[in-house]
Amino acid sequence: MDCADKLAAGGVMGRIAIPRCANDVCRPAGRGGSRKARGGHEVDQIIAHSFAMKRTLSAVAKIAPTRSAVLLRGEPGTGKDVIARAIHIQSQHRAGPFIKVCCDYLDNEDILRELFGCEAGFSGCAAGYPGDISLASGGTLFISEIGHFSLPLQKRLLRILQEQRYKPLGGKHTLPSDVRIICATEKNLEQMMAQGTFLAELYYRIHIATIALPSLRERKEDIPGLVNYFFERYNHANHMTLSLTEDAQAPLYLCHWPGNVRDIENCLEHAAIQAREDVIHQLPCLSGRCFRQRLNQQISRQQETAPQEPGGDAAFAQAAPLWPAETMRAMPATTIASHADDEDLRYRLVAALEKSGGVKAKAARLLHVTPRQLYYALKKLHIEVKKF
């Protein structure tokens, strides 16, 4: 079975090895500083036990061999960089370089220079400066946030996609471009297009091959694999033998994880630093040492009291679903009841009961838990069920 087949099938035991690309390019950035060197946190293997990730990898396997531009959409920390490299490895450009352009903190002038390069003498540039399009020739150019592009930049990118040609800054002639372009965004491009800040022609061009990356809330079956893989890397880097017990992992299923995989890695690193022995039996959040938990609770309360749209329900929006339906198969049966001191859990349960009018069976369906699990949670938290 080749790598493409493994991607489509979800891998062996839900873990896909994505080999390092020997042609990844991370040269020192020019004045814009757009090229981002690999960090130690970058995932080299994709964990794919969940249906959501298997579906994502199936889309990768179908799209990667084509020459079409790709649009990756997802929340922060969902692994857009990793999926972009997986596409590159399975593409016709696999033998060429992989170059990432990080546009998040650059102005349009810097992005122009980084992408297109400039001729000698242009804007005070003594020597010619090859841009990322030139460096990525025969390979893949990954644009990390297409939503930051101005309209003139969008028109230039559209021309590359349509004509496979570009003109360096200060240049007199267009040059051929042989690159596979992968774009990523966290922004609402449809809304931007409606507001006139994103070109409809570019949107339809890059939207042909779109992959929506699931949030960690949609792939909680992958949490055990992510935990194991994190500690493998952490132990290797720090010459340690730390591990997290299965029972200690239970709170991880209850968190919202706004930063997704990156967020859970930060949480686990904090737990590793706080560990007093090699086997971690309890996460810091259960002993009042988790600032994220307090912050999320404050945000939830503010959202609850914020002005709402007619028919809105901020409290319930924070409460449900507690877990995706498929996650229930991956969780220990006593997960809910074993964390009676979790105030966020209490808040979610009460909100669901209010929404369901006190009908426990309906509240359980809203939270995607079984009636039995809901019963034990209510009993442990001493929540009195009444008609709200």
Predicted local confidence at residue 197, as pLDDT: 94
Chain position carrying tokens 């249906």: 51
Residue 192 CB-half CA count within 13 A: 19
Q: How confident is the model at residue 51 (pLDDT cuts 50, 70, 90)?
A: very high
Residue 355's nearest CA partner among 312, 303, 301 is 312
- Sign (positive/negative) of CA torsion 133, 134, 135, 137? positive
Residue 324's nearest CA partner among 16, 46, 49 is 49
Predicted local confidence at residue 225, as pLDDT: 94
Residues ≥6 apart with Cβ < 8 Å to 288: none
Tell me which of 43 and 55 has the higher pLDDT.
55
Tens digits of per-residue pLDDT, 182-205? Answer: 999 999 999 999 999 999 999 999
Predicted local confidence at residue 280, as pLDDT: 93
Tens digits of per-residue pLDDT, 87-144? Answer: 999 999 999 999 998 877 677 778 888 888 877 767 666 677 788 988 999 999 999 8
Q: How confident is the model at residue 14 (pLDDT cuts 50, 70, 90)?
A: low
The top-scoring range by mean pLDDT among 19-23, 42-46, 276-280 is 276-280
Domain ranges for the chain: 3-214, 218-380
The top-scoring range by mean pLDDT among 151-160, 299-308, 337-346 is 151-160
Predicted local confidence at residue 83, as pLDDT: 95
Predicted local confidence at residue 319, as pLDDT: 36
The conformational region for residue 14 under phi > 0 = left, psi -120 to 50 = alpha, else beta, is left
Is the CB of residue 10 less than 8 Å from the CB of residue 54?
yes
Tell me which of 43 and 342 has the higher pLDDT.
342
Predicted local confidence at residue 100, as pLDDT: 92
Both structure tokens of 268: 């686990």
Predicted local confidence at residue 313, as pLDDT: 38
Predicted local confidence at residue 344, as pLDDT: 61
Mean pLDDT of 2-17: 47
Tell me which of 33 and 163 has the higher pLDDT.
163
Q: Which range is least confidently modeled, 274-278, 316-320, 368-372?
A: 316-320
Q: Domain 3-214: which topology?
A: Rossmann fold (3.40.50)
Is the pLDDT confidence value at 22 over 50? no
- Number of Cβ atoms within 10 Å of the Cβ of 9: 15
Instruction: Give me the torsion for CA of 377, 382, 385, 388, rounded to 10°.
Output: -110
Predicted local confidence at residue 95, as pLDDT: 93
Is the pLDDT confidence value at 323 over 50? no
Q: How confident is the model at residue 315 (pLDDT cuts 50, 70, 90)?
A: very low
Share of the chain above pLDDT 90, in %: 38
Q: How confident is the model at residue 63 (pLDDT cuts 50, 70, 90)?
A: very high
Q: How confident is the model at residue 36 (pLDDT cuts 50, 70, 90)?
A: very low
d(CA 324, CA 217): 7
Predicted local confidence at residue 259, as pLDDT: 86
d(CA 237, CA 259): 23
The top-scoring range by mean pLDDT among 24-28, 96-100, 131-135, 286-290 is 96-100
Predicted local confidence at residue 303, as pLDDT: 52
Our separate counts of H helices and E strands in the chain read 15, 11
Mean pLDDT of 71-78: 94
Q: What amino acid occupies position 273?
A: I
Residue 293 CB-half CA count within 13 A: 19
Predicted local confidence at residue 297, as pLDDT: 59
Mean pLDDT of 287-304: 60
Predicted local confidence at residue 3, as pLDDT: 47
* Angle ∠(41,112,180) on CA atoms, nearest 5: 60
Is the pLDDT confidence value at 45 over 60? yes
Both structure tokens of 135: 């460096």
Q: How confident is the model at residue 371 (pLDDT cuts 50, 70, 90)?
A: confident
Predicted local confidence at residue 34, as pLDDT: 41
Phi, psi of 346 (to 5 degrees): -55, -45
Residue 360 CB-half CA count within 13 A: 14
The model carries a pTM of 0.68
